[in-house]
Amino acid sequence: MTYVHVTYDLLLVVVRSVRSLLIVSCIKRRRYRHCVRMFRSTTSNFDKLLDKATSNLRLEPDWPAILQICDLIRQGDVQPKYALAAIKKKLYNANPHIAMFGLQVLESCVKHCGNPIHDEIGTKQYMEQLRDLVKSTSHDDVKNKVLELIQAWAYAFRNSPKYRAVQENISGSPNLQQVVPEDDVDPELARYLNRSYWEQRQSEEAQQHEKQLHHVSDRNGSRVDSPLSQQPSAPMSSTTPSNKLQHRHENGETDTEMEEFVATLKMQVEIFVNRMKSNSSRGRSIANDSSVQTLFMNITAMHSRLLKHIQQQDDSRVYYEELQDKLAQVKDARAALDALREEYREKLRRQAEEAERIRQMQMAHKLEIMRKKKQEYLQYQRQLALQKIQEQER
């Protein structure tokens, strides 16, 4: 009878322990299901944004949706592997517009999402997928865009051994090298980023300016009495279109025509002033001096062109001030976006800490219950041992 009673108590303790373990397991399972639901909601939001950004009804890229996609990947709400798999489906779509928008999303993710995306696209497997896309697609725009991205990534990762597969994708495929467009690299941009080119150009301009000043100083006295038939009697029309001049200024090139005009005008004014001083000191009449009259006519003719250049400079100043204001707005927007991202990360951290604290409290409560049950069980065993000793003494 005593043996049956002890066995029953042991079974009761085991059942209670198993029940406690089941309770803990249920808590963990609920947390897992909650995480799964959160992941599914995040991925569904990502899928909606991707469908919106790659819709074939759009005429231009949806940049707000693309930036939201980049934010989801950067914050860790969506795994890079899942994101690239979803984008891959868009790339292989039969509609070329969807494929082009998918490539735009992929390019933005590579530019803005950092190493998590770089680690995924910098693999040999992903490069082979892009190579297969180039071979299988029948749309030239999609093919050229893929090749452009591959070349840009190969140039960007040329010094990273970790992403050597991107460089090997081009160097190891002769067929791919043949179909790569040759004009995908902007020569003006490459020249703009070439520091040695600008240092050499600056030194050449300094030497040319010194020679020009020396030439003007040498001709300052000799041209006083010489006829000025070579000087234009009317405003010279610019042979370069205004859009070309603006394009040259945007690329950092100097306007040699304007420099020549300024130097010529300065020289004309200096000669005119010297001639006036000479006539004044000698007591000659200005009305009888043909050189002064010719200089005056030339300066008057060049005055209209000078006003035109002044207006162009004012327009350029207003244009660049507007660009500066836009850059300041972009900088402020970026700072606000970074603040929102930091606030969101802080919110996620607090939620994780609160969930961890609740889990620790629940585990501590369950451990306390199990300790009490263990003490009760040990006390019960002690009582059984005392009863056995008493029975043996009898």
Tens-level pLDDT at each residue, the chain (394 residues): 444 444 555 555 555 665 555 555 555 555 545 444 544 556 778 888 888 888 888 888 888 888 888 888 888 888 888 888 888 888 888 888 888 988 988 988 888 888 888 888 888 888 888 888 888 888 888 888 888 888 888 888 888 878 777 777 766 555 455 444 444 444 555 555 555 666 677 778 777 767 766 654 555 444 444 443 344 433 333 334 444 445 444 444 457 888 888 888 888 888 878 877 887 777 777 767 778 778 888 888 888 888 888 888 899 899 999 999 999 999 999 999 999 999 999 999 999 999 999 999 999 999 999 999 999 999 999 999 898 888 888 7
Quick one: 80 and 142 in the same domain? yes
Asked if residue 179 is part of any domain, the answer here is: yes
Query: Do 70 and 113 meet the contact criterion of CB atoms below 8 Å apart?
Result: yes
Quick one: 227 and 176 in the same domain? no
Q: How many structural domains compose the chain? A: 2
Note the pLDDT of residue 11: 54
Domain end among 285, 310, 334: 334
Residue 94 neighbours by CB distance under 10 Å? 9
Range of the domain at 69: 49-190
> How far is residue 291 from each of residues 221, 225, 277, measured CA to CA in Å?
13, 7, 13
Residue 146 neighbours by CB distance under 10 Å? 19
Place of tokens 């300094």: 206
Supply the Cα-derived Rg of the chain in whole angstroms. Answer: 40
Quick one: 53 and 152 in the same domain? yes
Asked if residue 98 is part of any domain, the answer here is: yes
Quick one: 179 and 272 in the same domain? no
Note the pLDDT of residue 212: 67
Note the pLDDT of residue 366: 92
Asked if residue 73 is part of any domain, the answer here is: yes
Note the pLDDT of residue 235: 37
Q: Is the pTM of this model over 0.85?
A: no
Note the pLDDT of residue 322: 92
Note the pLDDT of residue 78: 85
CA atoms within 13 A on the CB side of 204: 9
Closest C-alpha among 159, 84, 164, 91 to residue 122: 164
Asked if residue 353 is part of any domain, the answer here is: no
Asked if residue 11 is part of any domain, the answer here is: no
Asked if residue 197 is part of any domain, the answer here is: no
Instruction: Give rounded-to-5 percent helix, strand, coil for the chain.
Output: 80, 0, 20
Quick one: 251 and 143 in the same domain? no
Asked if residue 143 is part of any domain, the answer here is: yes
Indicate which CATH number applies to the domain containing 324.
1.20.5.1940
Quick one: 54 and 181 in the same domain? yes
Quick one: 259 and 167 in the same domain? no
Q: How far apart are the first and last CA of the chain?
A: 17
Q: What is the dihedral of CA 195, 198, 200, 202, to 10 degrees?
A: -140
Quick one: 136 and 246 in the same domain? no
Domain end among 334, 361, 379: 334
Quick one: 256 and 130 in the same domain? no
Asked if residue 123 is part of any domain, the answer here is: yes
Query: Do 271 and 224 meet the contact criterion of CB atoms below 8 Å apart?
Result: yes
Quick one: 183 and 225 in the same domain? no
Burial of 214 per CB tally in 10 Å (0-12, 13-18, 19+)? exposed
Note the pLDDT of residue 2: 45
Indicate which CATH number applies to the domain containing 54.
1.25.40.90
Quick one: 143 and 82 in the same domain? yes
Quick one: 183 and 62 in the same domain? yes
Note the pLDDT of residue 252: 46
Domain end among 300, 334, 368: 334
Burial of 352 per CB tally in 10 Å (0-12, 13-18, 19+)? exposed
Note the pLDDT of residue 75: 84
